[in-house]
Amino acid sequence: MKKFAVIGSPISHSLSPSIHGLFGKLCGIELSYEAIEVDRSSFTEKVMELFKDGYDGINVTLPLKNLAYEVSDHPSNASLKSTSANVIWRQEGKIHSDNTDGEGLVSDLEEKELFIENKKLLMIGAGGSAISILPSLIDRKPKEIKIINRTYSRAIELVEKFKREDVKLSAGNLLDPLSFKAEAIINTTSAGLLKEEISLPAGTFANQDWTYDLSYSNSETLFNSLARRHGIKKTHDGFGMLMQQAALSFEIWTGNKPDIKMATKLLTPNS
């Protein structure tokens, strides 16, 4: 039996055990998958302990993704670009890492026919989630990505970190009115998930084609609800991204690509 886990803090809400358990059944692979509470102070010790105990792979969630990158001996290109990792495994005594968040998001966008090439995107938030997905978004050659964040200096840091000649990156804060007319909005903050008030600049919503909230919920997320109240008709949450990035992790560990559509149907039978 193969052994896997997801680690983070908090972790009790994670759907990863259900998702990977279903992937295993669909692919005919016997496995166990646990959700384990781990904080930053005990991260390295716990990872080494899990690998010593025979775990074949570990998913890593916030706030540990940068530590997962730092502990790896062989980071993938995606990990290198984002300086973070959401999946690690041990091979020939060395820890390997990858970041499937960005490709998971892009795969879900493409599945939903939400193409970003040559588009102007607004990204809300400049934390770990933004860092994880930015390289993959930039690789799809949008016309511009404007990053707005409560701490303006953090948005500037991301612009400097990921700047390229072929894609314009710019920064703003959540206090000033927004004149940037984006064609789509991606929310990377967890404010709505944490039931915090969502405070956005005047002019944020301006007839965008669609919004995408990286958070997901059994009901409409607070961010997408706000977008709908401002007239945005196409709103999406991050459940599809969750499934896509999980499938990529599963394929890295097992060599098997699960049927995401079937898994999604089985997990959300009323959808």
The amino acid at residue 90 is R
d(CA 2, CA 33): 9
Q: From the candidates 65, 143, 163, 195, which is the catalytic residue?
A: 65
Q: What sign does the dihedral 60-246-98-216 (CA atoms) show?
A: negative
Asked if 46 is an active-site residue, the reply is no
DSSP for 229-264 reads HTT---EEETHHHHHHHHHHHHHHHHS----HHHHH
Q: Which two tokens stand for residue 188?
A: 């990377």
Whole-Å CA distances, 59 to 17, 69, 96, 162, 248:
10, 12, 12, 25, 11
- Residues forming the active site: 65
